[in-house]
Amino acid sequence: MQLPLPSSTQLGRFVDANFFLLSFSALAPLAACYPAIACSGGLIRPEITVFYVAIMGVFFLEGLSLPTGPTLSSLSHPAFHLSSLFFNFFLPPALLLPVVSLPFFLHFPPLIRAGFLALSVTPSTTSMSVMLSSRSGGLPPLAACAALLSNLLGALLSPLILQRLTLTSPTFSQKKLAVQILGKMVLPLLLGQGARALLSPPAVARSLPYVGKASQILVLLLLFQILSDVFASASAVSPFLGLRILSLVTLLHYSILSLSHIASAALFPSSRPTRVSFLFTSSTKTVVLGVPMLRSLYSDRSPADLAFLLLPLVAYHLLELVNGLVLAPWLKLWSESGPVLGVVGGGGGGMPHESTPLMLNKQKTVLHDNTTGGHDAL
């Protein structure tokens, strides 16, 4: 019996929905075979094209895609944001430090160990939190606001916490780091918001799918550069070391997911959409801000050392994306089967308030067009 072949429409939808993962699957072997294309000092000159143009471009597109009003209005829920920040910066190191002392992980190379400590204090990712919240029946504006706060505070908190965690503290200038973050993140983000204000709503809506794909391509370029440096270096990642890295990344990610689910039940018991958004804002890590931040903190290291330092973050980023896409349909069903309530615990002791299904649907889909464009790469 011959199985029916998928139609071109079905195939196109599959490719569109999985563009990032399919592209990464093609770029990883390319980086292994031809690392000279994107390694430091390579053909595409990543010092300029990746670490300035690509990173600033991602944040510009981020500003272009996020609606200002709904995102800013979500600032009125401090309990959500403070809890997310705790899960972003303080819980992961507390979970990680005892685990890396276990025999299976004890003899990690110093760079990989430092990479895991850096991963534990890296801020959340904005676009992935928004995209997964939208697909999973959460509240995208709330997720966007929490992730942006995490990114802004991470520029100050992450280096300070990392300095406490590492035995040999990285040498860096807090003022220089702040200027770099301002130039690479905040300024492009504001320019994107300004460009959005100049466009008509129909023009913004038409541009969002292209903005999403462009953002993914820029992040893929960043990951391609990191892998190229890994493969171009003399030191190779042995299968056993790779297994240990993936094991610890998986253990850390699922531990944070489980604890955030438990915490959300206590913090927001009557609002499943709020719990869904909290699940993603509390458990994701950004490569777009994490990479330039770590390159600044460890600027005295060689490109090969920096590549190995970033391996845990890259592995975690890919795992959170795959895991989020797998969980999204189930979380959406769970979210929509619960009571139709507004955000719980957002204000100072605020009480849950009932909403009509139409009101809640509008709140949950304010950023739907932004996420369907494919902003699942940060």
**Cβ(294)–Cβ(118) below 8 Å:** yes
Which CATH fold would you assign to the domain 24-29+37-372? Na+/H+ antiporter like fold (1.20.1530)
In Å, how far are 89, 171, 188, 310 from 346, measured between CA atoms? 20, 39, 29, 35
| Whether the predicted pLDDT of 90 surpasses 50 | yes
* pLDDT surpassing 70 at residue 324: yes
Percent over 70 (pLDDT), the chain:
84
Q: For residues 340 and 22, which has the higher predicted lDDT (pLDDT)?
A: 22
- Single out the residue of 210, 178, 246 nearest to residue 65, CA to CA: 210
Tens of pLDDT, residues 19-65: 888 999 999 999 989 999 999 888 999 999 998 999 999 999 999 98
Residue 26 in tokens: 């093609």
Q: Is the Cβ–Cβ distance between 126 and 286 less than 8 Å? A: yes
Domain ranges of the chain: 24-29+37-372
Backbone angle region of 345, left / alpha / beta, with phi > 0 → left and psi within -120 to 50 → alpha: left
Q: What is the pLDDT of residues 100-124, one digit of tens each?
A: 777 777 778 888 888 999 999 999 9
* 5 — pLDDT class (breaks 50, 70, 90): low
Is residue 77 scored above 60 in pLDDT? yes
The whole-angstrom separation of Cα 152 and Cα 146 is 10
140-165 helix and 272-281 helix, angle to the nearest 10 degrees? 40
- pLDDT (0 to 100) of residue 157: 85
Per-residue pLDDT reduced to its tens digit, 272-314:
999 999 999 999 999 988 888 888 888 888 888 888 889 999 9
Least confident of 110-124, 200-214, 226-240: 226-240
The reported pLDDT for the residue numbered 167 is: 58
Mean of the per-residue pLDDT values for the chain?
83
User: Using 50, 70 and 90 to split pLDDT, how confident is the model at 181?
Assistant: confident
Instruction: Tell me the Ramachandran region of residue 39: left when phi exceeds 0, alpha when psi lies from -120 to 50, beta otherwise.
Output: beta
Residues whose CB falls within 8 Å of the CB of residue 269, separated by 6 or more in sequence, listed in order: 344
